[in-house]
Amino acid sequence: MTATVSQATLAVMRRRRTQKAIMKEIMGMVWTSPWWAGFLLFELYPMFAGLYVSFTKSGWGGAAPWIGLENYVTALTVDNLFWASLFRTFYYAFTVVPLGLAASLLAASILNQKIRGEGFFRTAFYIPSLMPAVALAVIWTWILNPKYGLLNQFLAIFGFPTPGWLHAQAWAMPALILMAVWGSFGGASMLIFLAALQSIPKDLFEACDLDGGSPGQKFRHITIPMISPAILFNLLMGIIGSFESFLYSFLAPETPGGPNFATYTLGLHIYTLGFQEGRMGYAAAVAWLLFLVILAVVLINYKISGRWVFMASLEEKGV
């Protein structure tokens, strides 16, 4: 009898645990439902709707006849601006990402030092990244003005050449790169690097000091391997953000993408096709081609990351 009661009690307890687990899952879904609703309505649905539109000859209104792969074939074989803007996007991304990573790591290394007033300096380094991108573009347009801009006036004091920056075809893209690198300095990448630097065990540096290691050797053989997961994360996020670049090339030059298409990136090409020319179907196809390019670049970098990313720290955290 006792054994029978015990088995029944155990069954009731298991059932109650199951019910509690189900209720926790339900409550978790309820509390996260605003995020799921926003994701489904404003991200997932528009993405697949855009995929459907990319196979049609859609405009601002009216019928949207199905044309299959015609938009993709046009982009890859007929549209010269597609390949030219894609090349400029690669040039922009492969310059901005490494320079931005180096600048963020430098800022994090400076703030990781035990100095007086470090809280103030951390705040001062981070606040500029909170500036709206539109305001940042307007300020840099003034700084880079070839006639009265602050940067050219500073260069002239020391006898350096004063480029035309955003007004010269050869200097327009370097000007955008300068703006983007400055915008990434002190932002989220710096905070991630700073957290990674502070998580490195101090005994590793002490052991290196006992072996007579130099600061350069400590940075190369300890710091870089230990923060390599953070480098990988910032690298992938930087690639995605730089390939989607649009705002600077739209606002900073006198004409969007100018002068003479020098800053005409693929993001600006998509905007021009969809919102200025009204070719929504073709713009959606180019956008999906850009998505595939970003996906390929990210997957390639993630695939080769096993050669240089120190995975022990990730395994310890259960990643």
Residue with tokens 């998580």: 199
CB-neighbour burial class of residue 265 (10 A; exposed 0-12, middle 13-18, buried 19+): buried
pLDDT tens by residue, 145-172 = 988 899 999 999 999 989 999 999 999 9
pLDDT tens by residue, 224-251 = 999 999 999 999 999 999 998 898 999 8
Domain positions in the chain are 1-53, 76-316
Q: What are phi and psi of 66, to 5 degrees?
A: -75, 125
Residue with tokens 């790591």: 105
The SS3 call for residue 66 is strand
The pTM for the full model equals 0.85
Q: What is the pLDDT of residue 306?
A: 85
Angle at 69 between CA 65 and CA 75, to 5 degrees: 110
| CATH code given to domain 76-316 | 1.10.3720.10
